[in-house]
Amino acid sequence: MSAVEVRGTTSGVRPGPRRRRWTLPRIGAELGMLVVAAIFLFPFYVFLSVALKTPAEVARSPLAFPTDPALSNFAEAWERGDLGTAMVNSVVVASLSVLMLVAAGSLAAYVLARRGSRLSYGLYLLFLLGLMIPLQLGMVPLYQLMRDLNLLQTYTSLIIFEVGHQLPLAVFLYAGFLRALPKEYEEAARVDGAGPLSAFVRIVFPLLRPVTGTVIILSAINIWNDFLTPLLYVGGSPQQTLPVAIFAFRGEFASQWQIIFAGMGIAIVPILLVYFLLQKYVIKGFASGVKG
């Protein structure tokens, strides 16, 4: 293992690009990974090719590449599925939820991380419990509650749910970060006469920027992709979000897979766009998020 390894260790530079010869084992490794990747990416090929096929082509061969890309599938899915409305709904719900989540979560974590009392530790554990409890246990009572409050089929019901549901993750991430953050800055501000809230807003919150990025990315993806609760709360209403709208496609377009896939393609464009633009931060966010 030899040449590769020895050169790796003697060069001494770690991540950055290293100049290495294209040895036979190395070419083998590259090719091997590319084959693995090709198998892994096969479903994406299917996704794209079906979304671009005419019904006749879909029926003819499931594997062949579309000869005459039918972009009209996308237009049809967009119009008949009213995806524009669903996309606006998803954006509204996700952005308002994330905004409130960041505010409530960072403040809560600030208390829990800075107060060394037994009560604050207990409350911290109570929040963490939310990472484990299956939401199914409270699903029916919460549904009834939302119905009694006349909140079903409104943005409000979904936003309240998403904020509450994502809070444990946000609190966990913020508290972990805050514990490692020196107290001196805010102490200085407090000595200068700032109240706890203004010390938080002016001094602490700006220092939380990296973890705020992680919280935004993780929770935005979770909220954007959420299905079960949006289906229950806003399914079939003009407020329905993208995953719910796509779910309705299956019934509406039965076996017109090209329309279903085109609709699915439209629904994932925003996430993929964000992902490819920010992929470094998304992956880092996931990694540091789960590293705690």
Taking alpha carbons only, the member of 25, 81, 27 closest to residue 261 is 81
Tokens of 292: 């705690």
Write out the binding residues for other proteins, residues 142-171 only, by CB under 8 A. Answer: 142, 145, 160-161, 163-165, 167-168, 171
Among 35, 99, 103, 125, binds other proteins (CB under 8 A): 103
Q: Site for other proteins (CB under 8 A): which residue of 69, 95, 114, 176?
A: 114
Least CB distance to other proteins at residue 85 (A): 17
Q: Is 52 in the site for other proteins (CB under 8 A)?
A: no
Considering only residues 195, 210, 236, 238, which one is a binding residue for other proteins as defined by CB under 8 A? 195
CB of 78 to other proteins, least distance (A): 16
Structure tokens at 264: 């699915």
User: How many angstroms separate the Cα of 131 from the Cα of each of 118, 127, 166, 170, 211?
Assistant: 21, 8, 9, 10, 18
Shortest CB 29 distance to other proteins, Å:
6
# binding residues, other proteins (CB under 8 A) = 104
Alpha-carbon 284 to chain mean position: 13
Question: In Å, how far from its chain's centre is CA 161?
Answer: 16
Instruction: Tell me which of 71, 75, 228, 254 binds other proteins, using CB under 8 A.
Output: 228
C-alpha closest to that of 126 among 115, 118, 116: 118
CB 55 → other proteins: shortest distance, Å?
14
Contact flag: residue 118 with other proteins (CB under 8 A): no
Residues 68-95, buried b or exposed e (16+ Cβ, 10 A)?
Answer: eebeebbebbeeebebeebbebbeebbe
132: helix, coil or strand? helix
Closest separation between CB of residue 224 and other proteins, Å?
7
Q: Which of residues 246-275 bind other proteins (CB under 8 A)?
A: 246-247, 250, 257, 260-261, 264, 267-268, 271-272, 275
